[in-house]
């Protein structure tokens, strides 16, 4: 079958799962909540509303992103989509009934939808890889810096890429072109600028899937606007700060979200604080100096997850896997991100935003800046609890990669993007890999 036919089959399979979910809700609502059905068009409008919310949330959580994320993440995404859509509809139906309707009905609807979603996600995942077999791939590198690391990452995705060649850019032109001709996907790692243009052009002309590592300048150019000077296009970098109105909206969101978060989590925070205090008789709140916008220092609040003497020698250390400094309670609250809850007070005070680059400790930031001078660019905006680096990276993501992720956030900032990142943060809570420590865990700096 042609690629177009394969894509059509996959699209129809996705549509079948999507409308099966909606059908379960429609049937369940008709039989379990008949008191909320007043007239035909009202029923249709609420069903369309449910469909729109489900579709919107599925796009935010990448529910249909088969091939780009693993199966576990797809299933988690759909469960969260169903939770959001069903909770929203529960309150809408309660509004129509002028009272809170029984929870049992919506719970049965949700359970039935999950029973449909899990096996269909597995089938769709298999269908995707059956119709999109792993590409024959080649890696062309300019320097061996981090070559082994990136090669191992690419080779981990064997269901997408089968690496047949790893060659230096210094090979003869004929050999490089021959390797490109035999491959479907080409990865360029740290290619010299003198060679990258004609290699990219050749891949583009021969319809090859091309992947390159970002650089600081490439991120800025990728997010640049276009200015036309007569018939000449000029890239315009996004150097100005957001307008005053946008900044006020963002601050208003921070105040509202932090207040709601504090109120909803107050009982949980009190319980965690008591548990930490009773465990070792030391303060539950850990205060630490961090860096925010403009390089200013502020005091960050967290629930203490380590022993009080974790850094008794004064040396800043990042947490490692199985770090013996982490207490039993600390392991639980770190894994579930509950230790971050006191930062809601930082957001309310204005020293942090809810979305922004993760604030670093001054001494660690100074070490990073010695190797990555651009690392200070992260302080162009206010530090945040969540953001690109926190969602798409991990605790043990390298400083350079965190920098690229944070710059991508800064350069693509919008209120809608912030809302999307806030919703995506919920999914991160269910992904344990995002809290993994560094391999050796002994120092703050690694290359």
For the stretch 410-435, pLDDT in tens is 988 899 999 999 988 888 877 655 54
Residues 372-403: tens digit of each pLDDT: 888 888 899 999 999 988 888 766 677 888 88
- The answer to whether residue 171 scores a pLDDT higher than 70 is yes
| 54: helix, strand or coil | helix
pLDDT of amino acid 446: 38
Q: How far apart are CA 250 and CA 258, in angstroms?
A: 12
pLDDT of amino acid 93: 83
Confidence of residue 445 (pLDDT cuts 50, 70, 90): very low
229 CB-near residues (< 8 Å, 6+ apart): none
Query: 24 vs 436, which has greater pLDDT?
Result: 24
pLDDT of amino acid 442: 44
Confidence of residue 110 (pLDDT cuts 50, 70, 90): very high
190 CB-near residues (< 8 Å, 6+ apart): 141, 142, 143, 145, 146, 213
pLDDT of amino acid 273: 94
Both tokens of 223, joined, read 């997010």
Query: 158 vs 51, which has greater pLDDT?
Result: 51
Query: 78 vs 143, which has greater pLDDT?
Result: 78
Q: How far apart are CA 421 and CA 427, in angstroms?
A: 10
User: What predicted TM-score, i.e. pTM, was given to this entire model?
Assistant: 0.80
Domain boundaries, the chain: 3-131, 135-213, 244-435
DSSP state string for 187-210: EEES--HHHHHHHHHHHHHTT-EE
384 within 8 A of 313, measured Cβ to Cβ: no
First to last CA, the chain: 47
pLDDT of amino acid 443: 47
Average pLDDT, the chain: 86
Residues 280-328: tens digit of each pLDDT: 888 999 999 999 998 999 999 999 988 887 666 556 666 666 677 888 8
Q: What is the mean pLDDT of residues 229-251?
A: 84
What DSSP designation does 146 have? T
pLDDT of amino acid 253: 95
Confidence of residue 140 (pLDDT cuts 50, 70, 90): very high
pLDDT of amino acid 29: 86
pLDDT of amino acid 447: 36
The CATH fold assigned to 135-213 is Rossmann fold (3.40.50)
- Range in 197-211, 260-274, 339-353, 394-408 the model is least confident about: 394-408
Q: What is the mean pLDDT of residues 51-60?
A: 93
- The answer to whether residue 341 scores a pLDDT higher than 90 is yes
Both tokens of 435, joined, read 């809290």
**Can you give the C-alpha Rg of the chain in angstroms?**
25
Residue 331 CB burial class (10 angstroms; 0-12, 13-18, ≥19): middle
pLDDT of amino acid 85: 94
Q: What is the mean pLDDT of residues 327-339?
A: 88
pLDDT of amino acid 433: 53
- Range in 5-19, 31-45, 291-305, 329-343 the model is least confident about: 31-45
Both tokens of 146, joined, read 């981090």
Q: What is the mean pLDDT of residues 92-101?
A: 82
Residue 211 CB burial class (10 angstroms; 0-12, 13-18, ≥19): middle
Query: 432 vs 358, which has greater pLDDT?
Result: 358
pLDDT of amino acid 389: 86
Residues 361-377: tens digit of each pLDDT: 998 888 888 888 888 88
- The answer to whether residue 262 scores a pLDDT higher than 90 is yes
Query: 264 vs 145, which has greater pLDDT?
Result: 264
Q: What is the mean pLDDT of residues 117-146?
A: 90
Share of the chain above pLDDT 70, in %: 91
């Amino acid at each position: 079958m042609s690629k177009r036919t394969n894509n059509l089959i996959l699209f129809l399979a996705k549509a079948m799962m999507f409308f099966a979910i909606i059908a379960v809700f429609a049937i369940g609502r008709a039989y379990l909540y008949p008191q909320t059905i007043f007239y035909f068009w009202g029923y249709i409008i609420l069903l369309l509303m449910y469909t729109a919310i489900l579709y919107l949330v599925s796009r935010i959580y990448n529910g249909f992103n088969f091939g780009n994320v693993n199966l576990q993440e797809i299933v988690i995404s759909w469960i969260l989509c169903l939770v959001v859509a069903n909770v929203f509809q529960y309150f809408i139906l309660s509004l129509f009934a002028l009272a809170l309707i029984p929870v049992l009905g919506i719970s049965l609807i949700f359970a039935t939808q999950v029973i449909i979603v899990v096996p269909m996600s597995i089938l769709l995942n298999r269908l995707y890889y059956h119709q999109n077999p792993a590409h024959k791939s080649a890696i062309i590198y300019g320097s061996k810096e981090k070559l082994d690391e990136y090669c191992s990452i690419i080779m981990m995705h064997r269901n997408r890429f089968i690496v047949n060649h790893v060659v230096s850019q210094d090979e003869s032109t004929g050999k490089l072109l021959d390797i490109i001709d035999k491959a479907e996907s080409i990865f360029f790692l740290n290619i010299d600028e003198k060679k990258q243009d004609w290699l990219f052009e050749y891949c583009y002309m021969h319809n090859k899937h091309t992947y390159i590592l970002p650089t600081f300048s490439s991120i800025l150019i990728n997010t640049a606007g276009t200015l036309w000077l007569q018939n000449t296009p000029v890239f315009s970098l996004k150097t100005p700060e957001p307008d005053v109105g946008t900044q006020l909206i963002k601050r208003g969101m921070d105040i509202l979200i932090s207040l709601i978060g504090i109120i909803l989590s107050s009982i949980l925070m009190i319980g965690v604080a008591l548990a930490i205090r009773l465990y070792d008789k030391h303060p539950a709140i850990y205060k630490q100096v961090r860096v925010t916008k403009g390089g200013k220092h502020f005091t960050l609040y967290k629930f203490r997850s380590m022993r009080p003497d974790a850094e008794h020698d004064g040396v800043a250390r990042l947490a490692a896997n199985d770090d013996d400094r982490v207490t039993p309670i600390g392991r639980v609250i770190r894994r579930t991100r509950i230790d971050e809850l006191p930062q809601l007070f930082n957001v309310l005070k204005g020293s942090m935003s809810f979305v922004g680059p993760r604030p670093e400790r001054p001494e660690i930031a100074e070490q990073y800046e010695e190797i990555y001078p651009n690392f200070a660019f992260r302080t162009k905006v206010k530090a945040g609890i969540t953001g690109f680096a926190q969602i798409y990276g991990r605790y043990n993501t390298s400083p350079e990669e965190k920098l690229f992720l944070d710059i991508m956030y800064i350069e693509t900032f919008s209120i809608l993007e912030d809302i999307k990142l806030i919703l995506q943060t919920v999914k991160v809570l269910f992904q344990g890999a995002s809290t993994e420590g560094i391999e050796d865990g002994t120092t703050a700096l690694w290359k």
